[in-house]
């Protein structure tokens, strides 16, 4: 029974969390919850009102740290609201698409945003540019489109895209949920760069953040004034903007998520910002890709090295059952390396966001080698 395989203790990573989100939360972030405050203000946060200064100051610091981390251009705003990136798709459909959108879809998450736009009764049918899983599709100039949308990183397949403005006549709406904070990016190429904190930021889910250009803010304001469009308050981006600039959210946020996000941003800036966080992740995933290329049973799922994610490595297996490797690893405390559930491949998916220690990735690979060796016996 392979589930009984015990990996020798000296091979195991110090931390066995390699999920693609929710992902490893550093001890320091958990400690913030225990302390219940932000060190700069020394004010208790947990269990206190989100309309009072301690929480609002925390939100202000988060917004300021995000602005610094991403070196946001003049006029851009860091905006937040409840509901995670899935909610932001609905916000974008309601508050950013005026007439029509164009989408690059090359995996589950790009598809989900496209589907949301396709269901909306008040916009024209969206256009899609499609590619098979493991490959990349790019948006092209589309007649009537005023929003161009694509994932910076398709978490379901481990494909990374460029972030470059396609045209000046339209908003570039980029889903950075699983890569924001783990790669360098030029925010001026985007109008809405949005993400949730349960990936590179190692926090919990349930909140979305969006870095919005002046054009995106204007669009939100314009559609807010369009009385022909039904716009629930929670989907009204102009309301999220007016709350965010006051360091509030429309409704009650998860304070623990904010505190852990705060702790992570301090850490990211202290170690050297995006350049440093990106380097950590790339070091980790490069090890995985090199290991797969040398391993007779394994191949990187994304064939084109240029498209391979620097934060989530997807590895196909042949001649050996990846699900059995994953369950044996789980039995030994190494968790969440199963492939994206709907991809249906004989695969491991290894999340190596900035919080993951590259040494632990090296240990993970040794552990996998050991498991394969035992499975072959």
Ligand X SMILES: Cc1ncc(COP(=O)(O)O)c(C=O)c1O
Find residue 101's DSSP bridge partners.
Answer: 147
Q: Which of 70, 109, 129, 201 is close enough to bind ligand X by CB under 6 A?
A: 109
Q: Which of 23, 94, 95, 177 is close enough to bind ligand X by CB under 6 A?
A: 177
Measured distance CA(112)–CA(105) in Å, rounded: 9
Query: What letter would DSSP give residue 308?
Result: B
Q: Return the number of the residue (86 or 295) whose C-beta is nearest ligand X.
A: 86
When asked if residue 84 is in the footprint of ligand X (CB under 6 A), the reply is: yes
Minimum CB separation of residue 111 from ligand X in Å reads 10
- DSSP, collapsed to helix, strand or coil, labels residue 351 as strand
Measured distance CA(283)–CA(354) in Å, rounded: 10
Tell me the per-residue interface mask from 41 to 70 with ligand X, x by CB under 6 A, - otherwise: ------------------------------
Contacts of 220 (CB under 8 A, 6+ apart): 95, 96, 212, 236, 237, 238, 241
When asked if residue 106 is in the footprint of ligand X (CB under 6 A), the reply is: no
> Is the separation of the CB atoms in 85 and 152 below 8 Å?
no
Q: Convert 31-54 to b/e letters by CB count within 10 Å (16 or more is b).
A: ebbeebbbeeeeeebeeeebeeeb
Q: Return the number of the residue (309 or 367) whose C-beta is nearest ligand X.
A: 309
Find residue 350's DSSP bridge partners.
Answer: 313
When asked if residue 257 is in the footprint of ligand X (CB under 6 A), the reply is: no
When asked if residue 205 is in the footprint of ligand X (CB under 6 A), the reply is: yes
Tell me the per-residue interface mask from 233 to 252 with ligand X, x by CB under 6 A, - otherwise: --------------------
Interface stretch with ligand X, choices 39-47, 170-178, 298-306, 359-367 (CB under 6 A): 170-178
Measured distance CA(240)–CA(250) in Å, rounded: 6
Minimum CB separation of residue 206 from ligand X in Å reads 7
Give the interface with ligand X as residue ranges (CB under 6 A).
21, 84-86, 109, 151, 155, 175, 177-178, 196, 205
């Amino acid at each position: 029974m392979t589930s009984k395989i015990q990996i020798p203790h000296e091979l195991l990573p110090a931390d066995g969390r390699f999920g693609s989100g929710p992902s490893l939360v550093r001890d320091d972030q958990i400690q913030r919850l225990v302390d219940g405050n932000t060190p700069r203000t020394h004010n208790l946060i947990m269990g206190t009102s989100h309309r009072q200064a301690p929480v609002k100051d925390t939100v202000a610091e988060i917004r300021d740290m995000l602005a610094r981390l991403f070196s946001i251009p003049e006029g851009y705003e860091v905006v937040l609201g409840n509901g995670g990136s899935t909610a932001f798709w609905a916000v974008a459909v309601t508050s950013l698409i005026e007439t029509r959108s164009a989408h690059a879809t090359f995996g589950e998450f790009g598809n989900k945003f496209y589907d949301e736009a396709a269901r909306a009764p008040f916009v024209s049918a969206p256009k899609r540019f499609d590619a098979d899983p493991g490959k990349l599709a790019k948006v092209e100039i589309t007649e009537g489109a005023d929003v161009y949308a694509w994932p910076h990183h398709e978490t379901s397949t481990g494909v990374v895209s460029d972030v470059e403005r396609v045209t000046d006549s339209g908003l570039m709406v980029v889903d950075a949920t699983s890569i924001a904070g783990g790669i360098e990016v030029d925010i001026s190429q985007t109008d809405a760069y949005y993400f949730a904190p349960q990936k590179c930021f190692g926090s919990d889910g349930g909140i979305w953040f969006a870095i919005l250009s002046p054009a995106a803010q204007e669009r939100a304001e314009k559609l807010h004034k369009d009385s022909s469009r039904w716009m629930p308050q929670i989907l009204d981006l102009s309301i999220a903007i007016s709350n965010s600039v006051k360091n509030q959210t429309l409704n009650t946020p998860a304070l623990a998520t904010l505190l852990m996000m705060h702790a992570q941003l301090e850490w990211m800036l202290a170690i050297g910002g995006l350049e440093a966080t990106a380097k950590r992740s790339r070091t980790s995933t490069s090890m995985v890709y090199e290991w797969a290329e040398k391993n007779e049973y394994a191949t990187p799922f994304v064939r084109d090295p240029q498209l391979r994610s620097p934060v989530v490595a997807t590895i196909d297996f042949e001649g050996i059952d990846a699900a059995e490797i994953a369950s044996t690893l789980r039995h030994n405390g190494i968790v969440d390396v199963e492939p994206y559930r709907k991809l249906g491949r004989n695969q491991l998916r290894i999340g190596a966001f900035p919080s993951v220690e590259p040494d632990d990735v090296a240990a993970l690979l040794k552990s996998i080698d050991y498991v394969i060796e035992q499975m072959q016996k």
